[in-house]
Structure formats: structure tokens, C-alpha cells
Amino acid sequence: MTIELDIAGALAERPGFLIRRMHQIHLALFAEECAAFDITPVQYSIMTVADSQPGLDQAQLAYEVGVDRATLANVVARLETKGLLRRRPSVSDKRVKLVSLSSRGAALLEKMLLPVQRAHDRTIAALPPKDRETFMALLMRLVNAENDYGRAPLKLG
């Protein structure tokens, strides 16, 4: 039992371990709040960007969301099959696909707004309200400072 406590103590001192665990918790909260929609957090992020910036090409969309282009192409294809996104070739380069949210996708995003917000709120609910803004600012600072080490570039505010 002492060994288990020592291991748990060591793990609790590792930011990567805690961040990974927090991510697992957030995914579970998102799945619980959004089970009725059959949409993952990455799919939701892609749909959100496609809604706010219609007509982005897939490379730009990957950059905005912070996923690699192969993953993005796969997820976009699934969302297009579900009728939630549309892809059309660029006028200037037919190889480039421009992505937009469909009206069905926009309606789904609207339905998901409150459940998604509940998942985000629940993720940081253990923090006192005054600490939540600080936590988010520090988290953004860490992500921005180490962004070059990620698998894919990410654009944050």
C-alpha cells in the first residue's frame, strides 16, 4: 500500500499526467452532456470553426482547430456523410476543398450549445469562480508557449 501511495504521489506531481487525466474527464463529461448528438469534441470544434469561418480550405481548418490534415480530412468526410458539412472545390484550385457548415449542421450546433457549455462548465466547476478565469488564462499561456511541440499547429487568440 505504501508503494501505491508513493506512485500516486509521483503521478500527482507530473503535469502531463494530470493534463491527460483532466482531458479524459472532460471527454467523459462532454460525452455525457452530448450523448444524444453523436458528435465528438473534435467534430464539434471543426463544425464550430466551419460555422464561424465558412469556406475555409481543409488546411486552414486543420490549423484553426489544431489537428493534422489527415485527421481533419477523415473527420470532415464523416461529417459530410452525416450531412453536417459541405465540401466544394476551390475555383482557383480544384484540388483544394472548401468546407462550410450545412443548414443541418448549423441546426445541430444550435441544439448543442447548452449541453456543450454544461460540459465545459462542469470541467472546471471544482474551481472557485474567481479562479476559473485565471486557470483558463494560464492554460492558454501554456498551450501558446509550447504550441510548436504539438502534432499540428494551433491558432489561439
Report if residue 154 sits inside a domain. Answer: no
Please give the residue range of the domain that contains residue 74.
2-149
The tens digit of pLDDT for each residue in 53-77 reads: 999 999 999 999 999 989 999 999 9
Report if residue 155 sits inside a domain. Answer: no
The domain spanning residue 115 has which CATH number?
Answer: 1.10.10.10
The tens digit of pLDDT for each residue in 72-98 reads: 999 999 999 999 999 999 899 988 999
Residue 131 pLDDT: 97
Q: What is the pTM of this model?
A: 0.87
Report if residue 63 sits inside a domain. Answer: yes
C-alpha–C-alpha distance, residues 56 and 118, integer Å: 28
Report if residue 79 sits inside a domain. Answer: yes
Secondary structure (DSSP) of 73-103: HHHHHHHHHTTSEEEEE-SS-TTSEEEEE-H
What phi and psi values does residue 87 have, to the nearest 5 degrees?
-120, 140
pLDDT in tens, the chain (157 residues): 445 556 667 888 889 999 999 999 999 999 999 999 999 999 999 999 999 999 999 999 999 999 998 999 999 999 999 999 999 998 999 889 999 999 999 999 999 999 999 999 999 999 999 999 999 999 999 988 888 888 776 766 6
Domain count for the chain: 1
How many C-beta atoms lie closer than 10 Å to residue 91's C-beta? 8
Report if residue 157 sits inside a domain. Answer: no
